[in-house]
Amino acid sequence: PPFDQRDGVIWFNGALTPWREAKLHVLSHGLHYASAVFEGERAYGGKIFKSREHSERFRRSAQLLDFEIPYSVAELEAAKDAVVKANGMQDCYVRPIAWRGSEMMAVAAQNSTIHTAIAVWDWPSMFDVETKMKGIRLDIAEYRRPDPRTEPSLAKAAGLYMICTISKHRAERRGYADALMYDWLGRVAECTGANVFFVKDGALHTPIADCFLDGITRQTVIELAKRRGVAVFERRIMPEELTGFSECFICGTGAEVTPVSEAGPYRFEPGALSRQLIEDYTRETHRHSEG
């Protein structure tokens, strides 16, 4: 069913609300001027992975958009747990969102109420390991991640997803699973909802996350690789260099770790390190839910 017509409850401004009643008015600043920030998280075995990190990023994203989420990290943690539980979920996706309300409807909206909601839904792992190991195909996006001087790059802000949706639609229209986006200087950046890594001579290479989202999965993968003694280079990567990498994978809360077989003209062979990191990431997310 469509997302507004489901059973269950949504945490809405502090209360568990019947799913279909969690509505907002059409004259909401968040809708017209994109004064909205959100998170995307996953629960494994009823426990949200890296929940605190997501709550902290959620509050930081709002601050970058000049508003304050009216709940502390501790309150957000309790609210997320409550909504996962109230919906009887074990493995699910968790979507907190905060936006400016309707008191002011112009660019300036300092006195608007900040609304906060948290929904959860079933979103199974996109692929099993064997399917994943074939690798997905990436288009090259026509839009680039903007110069960090032109927008708050590190915020998970609704407005920044306009470029991602356009790029993802174009990629799917052309038969690809997703699009690889370059940054404003033409360097490799990320995908439309996931970060990207490359493998060369047993080491990981990934772009520096200073003009796009520094994913919590990205940080986890870096830590998992280092734990295995794998060297990790966060550096500028030009598209021409992609011919020199043997493996490529994307990672994010939704995508988890997903190998890539091609990106535009560049070809990769999903291999041993990708497989190892898929296993490590799966173990890490499940270990956390048992611990």
Query: Which residues are designated catalytic?
Result: 156
Q: Which amino acid is at 87?
A: N
Our finding on whether 28 is near ligand PMP (CB under 6 A) is no
CB closer to ligand PMP, 35 vs 220: 220
Residue with tokens 């950046």: 189
Closer by beta carbon to ligand PMP, 35 or else 195: 195
Rounded to the nearest whole angstrom, what is the least distance from the CB of residue 15 to ligand PMP in the complex?
Answer: 26
One DSSP character per residue, 25-49 reads -SS-HHHHH--EEE--EEEETTEET
198 to 227: interface string for ligand PMP, x by CB under 6 A: ---------------x-xxxx---------
Interacting span for ligand PMP (CB under 6 A) from 28-36, 188-196, 241-249, 279-287 = 188-196
E strand or H helix at 101:
none
Q: Is residue 195 at the binding interface for ligand PMP, with CB under 6 A as the rule?
A: yes
Q: What is the three-class DSSP state of 220?
A: helix
The reply to whether 237 sits near ligand PMP by the rule CB under 6 A is no
Question: What is the contact mask toward ligand PMP in residues 75 to 104, using x (rule: CB under 6 A)?
Answer: ------------------------------
The helix (run of H) or strand (run of E) holding residue 204 is strand 203-206
Closest Cα to residue 277, out of 170, 204, 206? 204
Tokens of 287: 């270990």
Per the CB < 8 A criterion, the answer to whether 9 and 18 are in contact is yes
Contact status: 193 vs ligand PMP (CB under 6 A): yes
Least distance CB 170 / ligand PMP (angstroms):
16
Q: How far apart are CA 207 and CA 4, in angstroms?
A: 37
Nearer to ligand PMP, 30 or 101 (CB): 30
Cα distances (Å, whole numbers) of residue 277 to 41, 226, 248: 19, 11, 12
Rank residues 96 and 101 by Cβ distance to ligand PMP and give the closer one. 96
Closest distance to ligand PMP from the beta carbon of 106 (Å): 29
Residue 245 CB coordination number (10 Å): 19
* Residues of this chain that bind ligand PMP (CB under 6 A): 40, 164, 190, 193-195, 213, 215-218, 252-253
